[in-house]
Amino acid sequence: MKDRDISAAMTILGEAVRKWQTPAVTIVSQRGGDPFKVLISCILSLRTQDRTTGPASERLFALADTPAKMVELPAEVIEHAIYPVGFYHQKALQIREICRLLNERYNGQVPDELDELLKFKGVGRKTANLTITLGFGKPGICVDTHVHRICNRWGYVCTRTPEETEFALRAKLPSEYWLVINDLLVTFGQNQCHPVSPRCSSCPLAHLCERRGVTRSR
């Protein structure tokens, strides 16, 4: 994909994804835009499918929707609420620790700076960027496996890791697409541009995609 084609690709994707389910963390952000809920939902979503993340987030926030309330819950109660998300035992402990630090160091408020969010154990660049973009509406580029895979498959970037992809996109992706690229490519990756055997024959971006690394498709 040529640099000049990215605007056309984003426009096409914006129309195409309307027929598919919105990512779970985005749905959470649309219900009030609470950065705390975005942060916690993103943690729950790691190594977990959206159909599990959404209900788990709802069960947990029904019990505690602020850091102050969350630290009052025993880890076992959090585990029970979020099961069966991936690594639910570790995530329950991580959530309580994050909430403890939010209460002690940030007056119960989620910081809106990337470097501050990265200080929390278990919060990587994907989670931090998603919290900033969905929770605060601030510029950031959230790169998960879908964004990394698809941007390389298109030929828009040539990188080895999601972190490299983030910095490559920061250097070349027009700023108007920073906040939306994750939602678009996660939805697109879950439904059309699969890791193995993507649906290239029905892809609305087939004419722009270089199909790098694709050995088998449908």
Residue 139: half-sphere exposure toward Cβ, Cα within 13 Å? 7
Do residues 57 and 44 lie in contact, with contact meaning Cβ atoms separated by under 8 Å?
Answer: yes
Closest CA to 114 of 100, 124, 103: 124
Instruction: Dump the DSSP string for 86-153.
Output: TTHHHHHHHHHHHHHHHHHHSTT----SHHHHTTSTT--HHHHHHIIIIIH--------HHHHHHHHH
Residue type, 25: V
Phi, psi of 135 (to 5 degrees): -85, -35
Query: Active-site residue numbers?
Result: 126, 144
Residue type, 3: D
